C-alpha cells in the first residue's frame, strides 16, 4: 500500500516538474520534503535521460530497441546440472561398478 502511494506521489512530482514548477513549489503541492522531490527527479533522470524523452524515435530505432541482446546462436538452452545431482549420480555409478555378487 505504501509503495502504491509513493508511486502515485512520484508520478505527480514528475508531472509537476514537466509543467515547469520549482522543486520547492512541487514539495508544497505534493506535501513532501524538497529532498524527496530532488531524489525522485534524480532517479527518474537516471532511468530515462531527458534526451531520450524528447527525441522522437523513428520506426527503425523503435524496432532496434526490441531486438534481443543475444542472437539465438549465442544462447545455450542446455538445462543446468545441479552439482549435488551430478555427485549423487557419480556415487551411484561407482557403487554399481564396485558391487560384489
Q: Where do the structural domains in the chain lie, given as residue ranges?
A: 1-55
- The pLDDT value recorded for residue 100 is 57
- The pLDDT value recorded for residue 74 is 59
pLDDT band at 29 (very low <50, low <70, confident <90, very high): very high
pLDDT of residue 34 exceeding 80: yes
Q: Contact, 74 vs 67, CB < 8 A?
A: no
- The pLDDT value recorded for residue 84 is 79
| Phi and psi based region of residue 7 (left: phi greater than 0; alpha: psi -120 to 50; beta: remaining) | alpha
In the predicted model, what is the mean pLDDT of the chain? 76
CA–CA separation, 94 vs 81, rounded Å? Answer: 19
CA–CA separation, 77 vs 18, rounded Å? Answer: 45
- The pLDDT value recorded for residue 31 is 92
- The pLDDT value recorded for residue 47 is 74
User: Comparing 16-30, 32-46, 53-67, which segment has the lowest mean pLDDT?
Assistant: 53-67
Domain 1-55 has CATH 3.90.700: no
CA dihedral 12, 16, 19, 25 (to 10 degrees): 170
Note if the pTM is more than 0.85: no
- The pLDDT value recorded for residue 62 is 55
Name the packing angle between helices 23-30 and 2-18 (round to 10°): 140
Q: Residue 3 is placed in which grid cell?
A: 509503495
User: What is the DSSP-derived secondary structure letter of residue 77?
Assistant: -
Amino acid at each position: 500500500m505504501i509503495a502504491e502511494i509513493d508511486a502515485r506521489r512520484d508520478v505527480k512530482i514528475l508531472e509537476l516538474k514537466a509543467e515547469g514548477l520549482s522543486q520547492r513549489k512541487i514539495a508544497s503541492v505534493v506535501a513532501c520534503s524538497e529532498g524527496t522531490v530532488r531524489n525522485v527527479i534524480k532517479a527518474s533522470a537516471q532511468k530515462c535521460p531527458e534526451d531520450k524523452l524528447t527525441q522522437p524515435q523513428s520506426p527503425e530505432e523503435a524496432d532496434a530497441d526490441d531486438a534481443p541482446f543475444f542472437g539465438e546462436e549465442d544462447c545455450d538452452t542446455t538445462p543446468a546440472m545441479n552439482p549435488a545431482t551430478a555427485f549423487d549420480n557419480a556415487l551411484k555409478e561407482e557403487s554399481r561398478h564396485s558391487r560384489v555378487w
